[in-house]
Amino acid sequence: TAKNNILSAVSEAVSEVQYQYRNSDTAIPSNDITARLCTSLEAVFVHGLKETFLGRLSSRLSGHEAMVASPKMPEPSFWTFALVFSHKQVISQVDSLSQVSSEVGRARAWLRLAFNDGLLVSYLTAMVCDNVSLAVHYEKFAFLRDPDKRDLCLSYLTGISVYTFNLSINVSTLNRWQPRPLVLAGCWRQTTTEVDIGADVAADLVEEVLPAPEFVRTLAEPIRDGGPGSYMRRGLINEEEALRLILQSTPVSFSPDIKMMEEMKVEDSDTDNKDVGSVG
């Protein structure tokens, strides 16, 4: 499945970094090795995003050939999800990048900045503990909502946490997706690449009820990093901004029954007023 492919890609990319830089003390720059590492992590964040689900489902239902031959790649972005866990300084830094002008670009730049700051494992640890935010942004079959897969991924990434990265973040090529992470995440297909997403998509076509939070945390509270008493140096955006962003990314449906009930209440009120007038 796509999740197994993603996990294998993360494992291979991490192993390659460890082998190539086993005797190096210098910061690791942008190159083919780090590109493969970033590609695998982009697939982790893209897989099962709710913003991409309808597009993938409609492509699948329209037939295999339509999906394979589609000339336009989807443009999923995990930037809104990353915002919930990012400090204002990080957000400002990403927003100020002169060559980055799209939501896709900001999400991809944020990931590389997380590597440079040495905070990616801390971000992921906080993210997988926040079941409410995960449920708002990701489908139940998503990689980040699979405890076994995400725990293995975190263990792999911990193996390169000792390295220092100096990845390029202010580059215009980040504004558009390359095919590989989207193919790896199972949300797009190339004619020469086959990715089995059927099991992932079919597993959860039923409507999902968001789970109750296992713990209470305001969005303004710092993220816990590791054991009790330790906190990440980088906190969250303030509660009002985070709530606004989450609500914007959450699909909202309006029930006609509620509207009907309100109309009935108005009619009943008018009727009561008329009765009172008649008695007078």
Dist. CA 113–CA 174, nearest whole Å: 13
**C-alpha 276 chain-centroid distance:** 58
Q: In this predicted structure, what is the pLDDT of residue 250?
A: 45
Q: In this predicted structure, what is the pLDDT of residue 73?
A: 78
Please, are residues 46 and 76 in contact by the beta-carbon 8 Å criterion? yes
Dist. CA 67–CA 50, nearest whole Å: 19
Q: In this predicted structure, what is the pLDDT of residue 208?
A: 42
Dist. CA 103–CA 174, nearest whole Å: 10
Q: What is the pTM of this model?
A: 0.66
Dist. CA 215–CA 132, nearest whole Å: 10
Q: In this predicted structure, what is the pLDDT of residue 141?
A: 94
Q: In this predicted structure, what is the pLDDT of residue 153?
A: 97
Q: In this predicted structure, what is the pLDDT of residue 255?
A: 39
- CA-to-CA separations, 162 to 22, 27, 79, 126, 143, in angstroms, rounded: 11, 11, 26, 19, 25
Greatest CA separation found in the chain? Answer: 96
Q: In this predicted structure, what is the pLDDT of residue 164?
A: 96
Please, are residues 2 and 197 in contact by the beta-carbon 8 Å criterion? yes
Q: In this predicted structure, what is the pLDDT of residue 21?
A: 95
- Consecutive 10-residue averages of pLDDT for the chain (280 residues): 95 97 93 97 95 42 41 84 94 96 95 97 96 94 96 96 96 94 86 39 38 41 40 43 53 42 51 50
SS3 per-residue string spanning the chain: CHHHHHHHHHHHHHHHHHHHCCCCCCCEECCHHHHHHHHHHHHHHHCCEHHHHHHHHHHHHCCHHHHHHCCCCCCCCCHHHHHHCCCHHHHHHHHCCCCCCCHHHHHHHHHHHHHHHCCHHHHHHHHHHCHHHHHHHECCCCHHHCHHHHHHHHHHHHCCCCCCEECCCCCHHHHCCCHHHHHHHCCCCCCCCCCCCHHHHHCCCCCCCCCCCCCCCCCCCCCECCCCCCECCCCCCCHHHHHHHHHHHCCCCCCHHHHHHHHHHHHHHHHHHHHHHHHC
What tokens appear for 124 in the block?
Answer: 């992921």
